[in-house]
Amino acid sequence: MGQKEWYIIDNINEIDTPALVVYPDRVLQNIDLLKTMVDDAGRLRPHVKSHKSIDVIKLMLQNGIEKFKCATIAEAEMLGMASAPDALVAYQPNGPKLERFIALIKAYPDTAYSCLVDNRQTALAISNKAIEHSISISVYIDLNVGMNRTGIIPDNSALTLYKECLTLPGVTLRGLHAYDGHIHDSDFEIREQRSETSMVPVWKLIDQITAAGLGKPDLIAGSSPTLPVIARLKEIDISPGTFIYWDKGYQSAYPEQPFLPAALLIARVISLPENGKVCIDLGHKSVSSESELSKRIFFLNATDLKFIGHSEEHLVAEAGLDHNYKIGDILYGLPYHVCPSVALYERALTVVNNAVKGEWLTTARDRKINI
């Protein structure tokens, strides 16, 4: 008999589907690989949005990663619960979110929290609330380097905002944040060139800040696609997220990053409609569905299937008139976009030595944990 495929689960008949499963040994290998890609592990600030799991955070802490990035208050609280030393909420807190952010700062003093600002109004609101609560709130100026989502253009207006934040009571300005999520070309040379071009105004802004006698700001930059580019630079934090589980989309697009798929979606064939079709229990509620139908899931052990229909609870595929699929067949699926797929599951089953042995809760799946 040939060697068993890495993803096979021996006790699969005990597992209801659809299910999210993770392979902790592969997660650890991905953490180790990430650490080899930078000159100093202290530069790593992984984004927790991909896994939303306190168990994964604990693994990274045990392996010397101490700085993190997140998007939601729940993710930030999860980091506080894990006693992560440093947590950037890469979002601008407004209204009730600002109140919750302040509650986090008070509830988890062992975690140094920070957030983003890209405008004077938000900066003033943060300052006023900090004074009201007798605390100091750390911020980074969010720069728009091409994503065109949030952030201030890194020009004189950014310099003005930077200077003002330095004078605001209750605000501690820590540096700059430049997310380049718009750069995702498969061709590495093109990606590299676009990354370098996007950073030119950032370097100019840093030079202006330094020349004004304001010191050299800390910088958080890059994304998963530009990780190999930003990793070559010095003294810059980088915050990849998808590396931890990897997915089919990034595996196909970025072969220069040899991370291992470490999370799969398990499904079953539940019906055999006429005309050579199979129906699988993996609907919109079970796998991220923002991409075209052919790029939602890749079944490792059923690469011949051609998807023709997708609804809330079902995925229909063309298998050919002479197919051998049977009701109850297990399919091991690698999602094209793992981050929102993970968020659909309240827990991930852990697979060790080809058997499900435990589970990791998707701790920050909900919008609220305690605060």
Neighbouring CB atoms inside 10 A of 357's CB total 11
pLDDT at 2 over 80: no
Please identify which residue in the block is written with the tokens 């997708």: 310
User: Which residues pair with residue 218 across a beta bridge?
Assistant: 175
In percent, the amount of the chain with pLDDT more than 90 equals 98
pLDDT at 134 over 90: yes
* Sequential DSSP letters for 3-36: PPPTT--TTGGG--SSEEEE-HHHHHHHHHHHHH
Q: What pLDDT was estimated at residue 274?
A: 86
Closest CA relative to residue 104, chosen from 73, 138, 59: 73
CA gap 208, 194 in Å, rounded: 23
Burial of 172 (0-12, 13-18, 19+ CB in 10 A): middle
Average pLDDT estimate for 92-104: 97
Tens of pLDDT, residues 263-314: 999 999 999 998 899 999 999 999 999 999 999 999 999 999 999 999 999 9
pLDDT at 198 over 90: yes
Closest CA relative to residue 297, chosen from 273, 328, 266: 266
Tens of pLDDT, residues 326-367: 999 999 999 999 999 999 999 999 999 999 999 999 999 999
C-alpha dist (Å) from residue 263 to 7, 50, 178, 339: 9, 11, 28, 10
301 Cβ contact partners less than 8 Å away, ≥ 6 residues apart: 5, 330, 331, 332
Q: What pLDDT was estimated at residue 275?
A: 86
Tens of pLDDT, residues 144-197: 999 999 999 999 999 999 999 999 999 999 999 999 999 999 999 999 999 999
**The two structure tokens encoding residue 257:** 């990053």
Backbone angles phi, psi at 176, to 5 degrees: -120, 150
Domains of the chain: 12-19+262-361 (2.40.37.20), 24-246 (3.20.20.10)
pLDDT at 1 over 70: no
Q: What pLDDT was estimated at residue 220?
A: 98
Rounded to two decimals, the pTM is 0.96
Neighbouring CB atoms inside 10 A of 283's CB total 16
187 Cβ contact partners less than 8 Å away, ≥ 6 residues apart: none
- HSE (CB half, 13 Å, CA atoms) of 162? 30
Helices (H), 150-291: 156-167, 188-211, 227-230, 248-253
What is the average pLDDT value for the chain, to the nearest integer?
97
Q: What pLDDT was estimated at residue 165?
A: 98
361 Cβ contact partners less than 8 Å away, ≥ 6 residues apart: 53, 54, 55, 346, 347, 348
CA gap 116, 139 in Å, rounded: 5
User: Which residues pair with residue 309 across a beta bridge?
Assistant: 316
Q: What pLDDT was estimated at residue 319?
A: 97
- In which band, very low, low, confident or very high, does the pLDDT at 323 lie, cut at 50, 70 and 90? very high
Neighbouring CB atoms inside 10 A of 310's CB total 19
Average pLDDT estimate for 229-241: 95
Note whether 164 and 140 are within 8 A (CB).
no
Average pLDDT estimate for 311-328: 96
